[in-house]
């Protein structure tokens, strides 16, 4: 970091550097449209990902482009933004600069760090190889290949015990992603693959959902958790709560149900990790206090201590919402919160530029409710003032997701895909693609 920070724009307008183009970074960028600033948006991938539907790519219901929009295409009309596809390797708060992996150094006047979260295996990183998580499109493709190949390998396998292991799917973690994955896997086994195999019966597949606490969907009221569990059971999912995972290897999972209990073994070739989330390691570059999950502790304006020009938003931030009653409430790691934080950080920057910082109120998270889908015609919804489940909740889930999906074309295609899937019970993206590093024409993965 010896080179002089270079301004990436030739003008002398204030430079806003935004790291990460998830829901938070994108909201901040858009909120600064038309503002007299030069924005540089850095992301290591070329697309904004609609993560709430990622499990549908992993379960072959949607193709990747349906939920991933090229960032620079989305922002092509916003002339004050330069999009760079690059990896951030360092942050120098004193010199107000960010260095990229290729050695470039970008100066800033305001910095918004919105690098998001990644999987956490609670200190068991050796589990990662056996129980992939679901955060990126790469993860989704890997998981899709695993699930589809599990049925293929069962069809090839003459030994009944190993066949059963291929046909056992374990989802670890009963949050929304775990519930959605388990429900969809059960649907695939019982409906999608019907009549397609000759040696196995895919509907004999077991789908287990393991949750450490006493109920699934802990963020929702108890009554909706119970409804979700009943709907999952109706789809053929074995829900096991108070079930702690103590080991994962290539052959299956070891679990403990209740504190002094003997560990129990579940043979399963496909294990999905939907349990732990940790903040992006990028937070460490800021050299400020982090909480246990690696999140950056920010003030009421989402800034880090001593640096009013540095904002941290989204899943990377341990933020507090100032409620109308004056109390503070932790902001949950959900996409509406990230969007709201992005917009708030942008407003802070605009206020600072106008010298009107004092007029701005601390961040307050507006909770419009929570939703989780379980499968065909099954979902639960909690709008605070109203809780419902079943078909109505499913339709509501569908509407909300289509509405928030980025880009008109994607909405139309996804709606068509869903309509088709609904009537045919089919999933069209059942393609196993695994670029092999050593294949002809292969390149070493970046």
Active site residues: 180
User: Is 437 among the residues that bind its own copies (CB under 8 A)?
Assistant: yes
Q: Which of 122, 399, 422, 428 binds its own copies (CB under 8 A)?
A: 428
Q: What is the arrangement of strands in the sheet containing 303-304, beginning at the earlier edge strand? A: 81-85, 38-43, 15-19, 110-113, 307-312, 303-304
User: Is 70 among the residues that bind its own copies (CB under 8 A)?
Assistant: yes
Work out how close the CB of 332 gets to its own copies at its nearest, in angstroms, rounded to a whole number: 23
Cβ pair 78, 438 in contact under 8 A: no
Cβ pair 369, 256 in contact under 8 A: no
Question: Considering only residues 304-343, where is the footprint of its own copies by CB under 8 A?
Answer: none
Query: Which region among 77-85, 206-214, 252-260, 343-351 touches its own copies (by CB under 8 A)?
Result: 77-85
If the CB atoms of residues 324 and 441 are measured against its own copies, the closer one turns out to be 441
User: Is 291 among the residues that bind its own copies (CB under 8 A)?
Assistant: no
Residue 131's nearest CA partner among 167, 177, 188, 169 is 169
If the CB atoms of residues 86 and 322 are measured against its own copies, the closer one turns out to be 86
Work out how close the CB of 74 gets to its own copies at its nearest, in angstroms, rounded to a whole number: 10
Question: Considering only residues 14-53, where is the footprint of its own copies by CB under 8 A?
Answer: 45-47
Question: Considering only residues 213-272, where is the footprint of its own copies by CB under 8 A?
Answer: none
User: Is 441 among the residues that bind its own copies (CB under 8 A)?
Assistant: yes
Q: Which of 219, 230, 392, 431 binds its own copies (CB under 8 A)?
A: 431
Say if strands 243-249 and 88-92 run parallel, antiparallel, or are unpaired.
unpaired
- 10 Å CB burial of residue 6 (0-12, 13-18, 19+) is exposed
Report how far residue 153's alpha carbon sits from residue 344's, in angstroms, rounded to the nearest whole number: 50
User: Is 131 among the residues that bind its own copies (CB under 8 A)?
Assistant: yes
Report how far residue 105's alpha carbon sits from residue 386's, in angstroms, rounded to the nearest whole number: 50
Cβ pair 379, 64 in contact under 8 A: no
User: Is 198 among the residues that bind its own copies (CB under 8 A)?
Assistant: yes
If the CB atoms of residues 268 and 304 are measured against its own copies, the closer one turns out to be 268
Report how far residue 127's alpha carbon sits from residue 175's, in angstroms, rounded to the nearest whole number: 19
HEC per residue, 79-122:
CCEEEEECCEEEEECCCCEEEECCCCEEECCEEEECCCEEECCC
Q: Which of 14, 65, 212, 336 binds its own copies (CB under 8 A)?
A: 65
User: Is 5 among the residues that bind its own copies (CB under 8 A)?
Assistant: no
Of the chain, the end-to-end C-alpha distance in Å amounts to 23
Question: Considering only residues 137-196, where is the footprint of its own copies by CB under 8 A?
Answer: 137-139, 141-142, 146, 148-149, 152, 155-156, 158, 195-196
User: Is 297 among the residues that bind its own copies (CB under 8 A)?
Assistant: no
User: Is 281 among the residues that bind its own copies (CB under 8 A)?
Assistant: no
Q: Which two tokens stand for residue 258?
A: 């209740």
Work out how close the CB of 205 gets to its own copies at its nearest, in angstroms, rounded to a whole number: 15
Query: Which region among 132-140, 172-180, 305-313, 395-403 touches its own copies (by CB under 8 A)?
Result: 132-140
Cβ pair 29, 18 in contact under 8 A: yes
User: Is 294 among the residues that bind its own copies (CB under 8 A)?
Assistant: no
């Amino acid at each position: 970091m010896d080179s002089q920070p270079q301004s990436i724009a030739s003008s002398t307008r204030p430079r806003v550097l935004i790291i990460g183009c998830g829901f938070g970074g994108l909201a901040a960028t858009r909120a600064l449209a038309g503002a007299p600033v030069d924005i540089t948006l850095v992301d290591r991938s070329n697309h904004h990902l609609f993560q709430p539907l990622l499990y549908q790519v992993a379960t072959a219901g949607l193709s990747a482009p349906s939920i991933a929009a090229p960032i620079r295409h989305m922002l092509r009309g916003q002339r004050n933004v330069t999009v760079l596809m690059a990896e951030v390797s360092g942050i120098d708060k004193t010199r107000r600069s960010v260095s990229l992996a290729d050695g470039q150094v970008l100066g800033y006047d305001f910095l918004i760090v919105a690098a998001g979260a990644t999987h956490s295996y609670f200190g068991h990183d050796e589990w990662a190889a056996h129980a992939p998580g679901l955060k990126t499109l790469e993860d989704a493709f890997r998981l899709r290949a695993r699930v589809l190949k599990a049925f293929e390998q069962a069809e090839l396998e003459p030994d009944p015990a190993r066949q059963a292991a291929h046909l056992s799917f374990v989802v670890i973690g009963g949050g929304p992603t775990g519930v959605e994955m388990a429900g969809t896997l059960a649907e695939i086994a019982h409906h999608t693959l019907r009549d397609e195999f000759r040696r196995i019966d895919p509907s004999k597949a077991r789908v287990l959902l393991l949750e450490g606490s006493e109920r699934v969907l802990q963020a929702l009221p108890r009554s909706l958790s119970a409804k979700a569990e009943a709907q999952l059971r109706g789809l053929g999912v074995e829900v096991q709560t108070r079930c702690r995972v103590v080991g994962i290897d290539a052959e299956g999972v070891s679990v403990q149900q209740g504190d002094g209990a003997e560990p129990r073994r579940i043979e399963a070739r496909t294990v999905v990790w939907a349990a732990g989330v940790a903040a992006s390691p990028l937070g460490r570059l800021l050299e400020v206090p982090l909480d246990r999950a690696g999140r950056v502790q920010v003030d009421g304006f989402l800034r880090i201590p001593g640096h009013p020009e540095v904002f941290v938003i989204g899943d990377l931030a341990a933020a507090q919402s100032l409620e109308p009653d004056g109390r503070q409430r932790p902001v949950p790691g959900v996409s509406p919160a990230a969007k709201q934080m992005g917009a708030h950080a942008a407003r802070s920057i605009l206020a600072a530029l106008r010298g009107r910082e004092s007029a701005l109120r601390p961040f307050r998270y507006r909770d419009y409710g929570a939703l989780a889908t379980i499968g065909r015609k099954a979902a639960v919804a909690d709008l605070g003032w109203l809780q419902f489940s079943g078909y109505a909740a499913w339709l509501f889930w569908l509407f909300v997701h289509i509405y928030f999906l980025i880009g008109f074309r994607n909405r139309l295609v996804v709606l068509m895909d869903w309509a088709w899937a609904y009537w045919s019970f089919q999933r069209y993206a059942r393609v196993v693609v695994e670029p092999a590093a050593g294949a002809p024409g292969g390149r070493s993965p970046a």
